[in-house]
Amino acid sequence: MIPEPILLGFFTFFSCTYTYLLADGATGDAVIIDPVLDTVPRDLRLLRELGLTLRYAANTHCHADHVTGSGALRRALGCASAISRASGASADLRLGEGDELRFGSFALRVVPTPGHTPGCVTFVLDDSSMAFTGDALLVRGCGRTDFQQGCARTLHRSVHERIFTLPESCRIYPGHDYHGHTMSTVGEERRHNPRLRLSADDFVALMERLRLPRPRLMGQATPPEPPKNSPKILPEHPQKIFKILPEHPKILPEHPKKSSKYPQKQPQNPP
C-alpha cells in the first residue's frame, strides 16, 4: 500500500474557508495550506499536540474574505511563508510553475491556475492523488472572477488544462464550500460541475451575469481596490471550526462548543 501523508482539514465558519494540514507521520514535517489568522492558536496547539514541525505556511492566493495566518505562524514557529510570485504579495517563498514544497518524503507541486485571481495556484501531491485547488475549483462550482483582476476565460482554461488533466481519481480539496461538501474528485467535477462543463464562451457569459456581494475583507486582506470612502471592515466574529475528511484514518475527533451568541447561518458570500 502506498503511504499517504497525514491530512487534517478544518472549516472556518465566518468565511466558509477550508484550511489543510499535511504531515509526514514518520518525520513529523508538516505544511499548512490557507491558514486563517483567527485560527492560528488552534493550529499552534495542534502542531504541538501531534509533535509536528511546520515547514511551510502556504497560500493558494490572496484571499478577500479572511486575513491569512501565514505571517503569524512564521513569527511563532520560524516556518517559511509561501505564495505565488504572480500574486504580488510578500512571502519568504514566491512560488512559480514546477516549484515544490517538500515535507518529509512527500512534496506538493505548484501548478499555476489563474483566473479567480492572477496569482492562484493549485498544490498537487507528488503522486497526483490529491489537489488543493483554492478558489479555482470548488465542489460543483468555482471562485468568482469579478475582482482582483479576475478573468473568467482564464479560469476556464486553467481548470480544463491544469486540473481536469489530472487523474480522474485525484481527490479535490477546495478552498471554500457553501453547501456542506468536503471533497470531490477530478472525474466527478469534470462530469458534474455545472459551471465548468460549459464551453468557454458560455462560462464567460454565466460569470458575467453573476451579481455577488463585495467580499467582507476586500482591501484589508488583499491588495487594495476598494471604492472611495468605503468603511473599514474588521474581523470580529469568532468562527465555528469543524474537523472534516472522516474517511481518513488519522483524523482526530474534536467537538467544538456551540455558542448561542452568534447565528449559525452560513453567509452567502462566495469567494
pLDDT at 13 over 90: no
Task: Flag whether 238 is in a domain.
Answer: no
Asked whether residue 198 carries a pLDDT value surpassing 80, the answer given is yes
CATH number at residue 217: 3.60.15.10
Q: What is the CA radius of gyration of the chain?
A: 18
Reported as a single tens digit per residue, the pLDDT across 133-156 is: 999 999 999 988 987 778 999 999
| Cβ pair 221, 68 in contact under 8 A | yes
Condensed to tens digits (0 to 9), the pLDDT of residues 211-231 reads 766 656 544 444 444 343 433
**Residue 261 within any structural domain of the chain:** no
pLDDT of residue 264: 41
Amino acid 179: pLDDT: 85
Q: Tell me, what's the pLDDT at 148?
A: 73
Residue 236 inside a domain? The answer is no
Cα–Cα distance between 55 and 81 in angstroms, integer?
Answer: 9
**What percent of the chain lies above the pLDDT cut of 70?**
76
Position 30 pLDDT exceeds 90: yes
Report the distance separating Cα 207 and Cα 189, nearest Å: 18
Is there a domain that residue 255 lies in? no
Helix (H, G, I), strand (E, B) or coil at 26: coil
- So what's the pLDDT on residue 66? 66
Is 234 a member of any domain? no
| Inside any domain, residue 242 | no
H or E element: which one contains 12?
A: strand 6-12
What's residue 246's pLDDT?
37
Residue 252 domain-assigned (yes or no): no
Q: Per-residue pLDDT tens for 35-94?
A: 999 999 999 999 999 999 999 999 998 877 668 899 999 999 999 999 999 998 889 999
The larger pLDDT score, comparing residue 236 to residue 58, is at: 58
Q: In sequence order, what are the residues at sequence separation of 6 or more whose Cβ sits closer than 8 angstroms to the Cβ of residue 23?
A: 5, 6, 29, 30, 31, 50, 52, 103, 104
* Residue of 264, 31, 17, 227 whose CA lies nearest to 138: 17
Full residue range of the structural domain in which residue 186 is found: 7-222
Instruction: Answer yes or no: are the C-beta atoms of 24 and 103 closer than 8 Å.
Output: yes
Instruction: With a cut of 50, say whether residue 232 has pLDDT above it.
Output: no
Number of separate domains in the chain? 1
**Cell numbers describing residue 107:** 512534496
Quick check: 6 and 22 in contact, CB under 8 A?
yes
User: Looking at residue 214, what is its pLDDT?
Assistant: 65
pLDDT in tens, 258-267: 333 333 444 4
- Are residues 189 and 164 in contact, defined by beta-carbon separation less than 8 angstroms? yes
- The pLDDT tens digits of the residues spanning 150-184 come to 899 999 999 999 999 999 999 999 998 888 898 99
